[in-house]
Amino acid sequence: SYELSQPPSVSVSPGQTASITCSGDRLGNKYASWYQHKPGQSPVLVIHHDSQRPSGIPERFSGSNSGNTATLTISGTQAVDEADYYCQAWDSSTGVFGAGTKVTVL
């Protein structure tokens, strides 16, 4: 079965840039989506189609996808961005999530 790998955690200082990677076999040939998930809340879509931001998502969130790796970048990270982030892709008609990356804003 298809698998996506993410680092368990990323730490970033306020105002700095956080980069979260998501690796999968030929992931660049699929579309990657990214979700922000805070405790007790429902997940929020922050990136779709590899690099597109839904309406209402701040410009500091950006994405890319090439080769075997998709990347979510948070520029000028704010305390409110502290959350778990999950990448997601489709393998035929089956969805796959990465294990998630906890972003800590120190």
Choose which of 7, 12, 48, 60 interacts with another protein (CB under 8 A): 48
Exposed, middle or buried, 57 (CB in 10 Å: 0-12/13-18/19+)? middle
How far apart, in whole angstroms, are the C-alpha atoms of residue 37 and residue 102? 9
Listed residue (85, 81, 78) closest to 101, CA to CA: 85
Size of the site for another protein (CB under 8 A): 27
**Closer Cβ to another protein, 18 or 85, answer by number:** 85
Judged by CB under 8 A, which stretch of 10-18, 21-29, 42-50, 74-82 contacts another protein?
A: 42-50
CA distance to 44, 45, 95, per residue, from 55 (Å): 12, 10, 23
Choose which of 26, 59, 80, 94 interacts with another protein (CB under 8 A): 94
Check residue 7 for interaction with another protein (CB under 8 A).
no
- Write out the residues near another protein by the rule CB under 8 A: 1, 31, 33, 35, 37, 42-45, 47-50, 54, 84, 86, 88, 90, 92-100
